[in-house]
Chain A
Amino acid sequence: MSEFNFDKLSNLEIPEKWVDNTLSASSTSKESAPAFINIRKTMTAFACFLVVCLVGFSLFTLKPDKDILPVDTTPTQSTESSADINPTTEKENETVQKDTQTVTEATEKPNADRAELKKPTENTSTATQPDEIVSETNEPENLPTDATQGSTEPQEPSLPEVIFPDNGFPEDSSDPDYSVGDCLVGISPGYLVGNGNIYCRIYNSNHEYIGDNNIFSDQHLAHFYSGFGSTYYYYYNPIKSGLVLEPDTYTYSFYNEHNVPICRAKIVISYPES
C-alpha cells in the first residue's frame, strides 16, 4: 500500500459470529439439502412446451377444410317437360299393352304403315267392322304443344309417326252398350299431373282439327275402370259430349294438363244405316 493508506480497511475486523453463522448454515444445508430445482428454467421449459402444443394444436385444427367437391347434380327434370315423360313413354306403353291384352282381344298392328292413316275410307266400310287402332311407336316431341287449356286456335298438328299402342281403343262394336265414337283410354298415373284432367283433341282423316280440347274426367263423361295394375281407364265419347262428327276415321289425341301426350286412338265413326 504505497500509494494510498487503507490500513483501516485492510485491518477491518470481521466479527467471529460471521464465521460461526456460516459454518452453521453450511452444516444445516448439508443435512437437509432439498432438491434444488431451478424454478426459472423449469417454468421456461414448461412455457415453451405449452407454446409448442398450442401452435401444433392450432395448425392441426385450423387447417383449411378440404375442398368440397361439387356435388354432381344432374338437372332435375320437370314433370311438365315432355322429355321427362318421353323416355318412359314406351315403357308405360309396354306396361299398358300387357294390361290391355287381358282386357280385350283387340288386335294390334305394331309399326303400322303410315299410308293406312291417310286412307281412312279403306277401313271404314261398315259400322260393324271393328275399329282399328294403329299401333306405332311414340314420338311425342312431334306433337303440338298447346299448354293452354281451352284454346280455340290449336296449331296444325303434325301427324305423329307413332301413336300409343293399346292405350286407346274402342269397345267392341258388337257390344250392345257400344255407342258410335266410344273410346276407352288407358292412362298411367304418371301422366295424371296437375289437376288430373285429361284433354282430347280430335283430328279427322285429313289431319284437320275438329274439336276443342274437351276435358273429360270420370266426373263427366268417363267411366273409370280399374283393376289392371296402375293404369287408369277412361271412357270417352266426343259425340255424346255434343261434338258432331261426320263419318270418318278420326284420331283422338289425349294429353294431360301439362300438354304431355299420353295416348292416341284411331276411331272410325260410322253410323248404321237406319
Chain B
Amino acid sequence: MTHTTEHAPTRAHPDRVHLDNGGRARWHPLARQAFLQAVDDGWADPRRLHTEGRRAAALLDGAREAVAGVLGARTEEVRFTHSHTTALHSAVLAAADGRRRAGGDVVVSTVERAAVLHAAHDAAATHGGRRVDVPVDRTGRVDPDAMADALASPGVALAALQHANGEVGTLQPVEDVHARALAAGVPLLVDAGASLGHVALPPSWDLLAADPADWGAPAGVGVLAARGRVRLVLRGPEDPEPWAPGGVSVPAAFAAAVGLQAVAADREAEDARRRALIDRVRATVATVPDVEVVGEPDARLPHVATFSFLYVDGEALLTELDRAGLAVGSGSACTASTLEPSHVLAAMGVLTHGNVRIALDRSTTEQDVDRFLAVLPGAVARVREMLGVGGL
C-alpha cells in the first residue's frame, strides 16, 4: 500500500476529477499533517534565541537536511527560497554573475521555463553577453551535441537544462550534457521543477531548482541547491538571508520537506502505476480523429500527457470538460491571458491550438482516468461541431 491510499483524505468535491496537477497539486496528506504540526510548533521567528524561536529553527534545519538527503546534496548546499520561480531567477543571476569574468553568455534550451529564459536574458544583458537558445526536436528533447557545442564556446558563463519538461513530459539528456559542461568548466543549472518526486534525479547538476507545490506541498516556498564548488554572487539589498530576504515560512518549508520524503518513499510504485495510466491515455487519445499526441513516448515523466486536437478551440474544450467535472491544463493561446501560445509547443513545431495537458496526482484513480477518456472524444466532437469543421 502506498502512502496515498493509507492517508487518502475524503475529497471535498467528489464530483470533480482534477487532472491539472503539474506545478500545483493537491496537498499530500503527510505534507498537510506536517504543515499543521509546524503551525503549532514552528510559528515563531527562527532567528530569535528563545525556546520558541529555537524550536522553529530546529524544524527549518531539519527540513533543509531532509531535502538535502533526497537530493543527494550536503545540507549547506540547499537553500529555501520564496518560490520555485525565485529559485530559478536567483540561480541564473547569481551563477552568471559569479562567472562574469569567463563571459556573459547564458546557454539554454528553447523549452526551459519562462523564468529561466527571462532570467538568462537579463543576466546576459547585464554582462554584455547574449542568451544562446539551443533548439529541440519534435519530441521536445534537446540534442546533447548541440547543447555541448554551445556551452563549450568561448564566453559562456552558465548553461541551463531542465530535467524534464513539465508541459509535455519529455526527459532531457541532463547526464550527458552535465558531463560535457563539466569538461568545459561551465556550471549547469538543472530545473527539476517538474520531475523531482516523480522520477529519479541523477546527481548531474551544479545548481538545481525544485518546486514543492508540484509534489503536493505548499506553494510559497522553493528549493535551490548549489554545489559548493559553484561561485555565486547574489546582488540585492543586504539581508541575513539573501536567497529569501526576510526568511521563509517555517511551516511551508517543513511541509515541503516531509512531502518530498513521502513522495520519494513511494516513487517507484507511483511511477509504475501512473505510467500505465498515461500509456492508456496516450493510446486512447490517439484514436480520436486529427490529434497529435506530443512529447517523447518513452523517455518521459510518468504522470504527464499532452495532445493537440486540430480545428479545436482550446478554451471551448476546457470549458466543455470543466462542465463535465474534469479539470485539465492547456498550452493553447486561446486559453491564456496572452495571445502567445506555449513557447514549448511552438519550439517543438507541434500544433499549439486545441491543446490539452493532464498531470496525474498520487490521488488520481483509474476511475478518474476512465471518466476522462469516456468524456473527451464527445467533448472534442461537440467543440468541432460548433466551429463547423466537418470534412476539413
Physical interaction between A and B? no
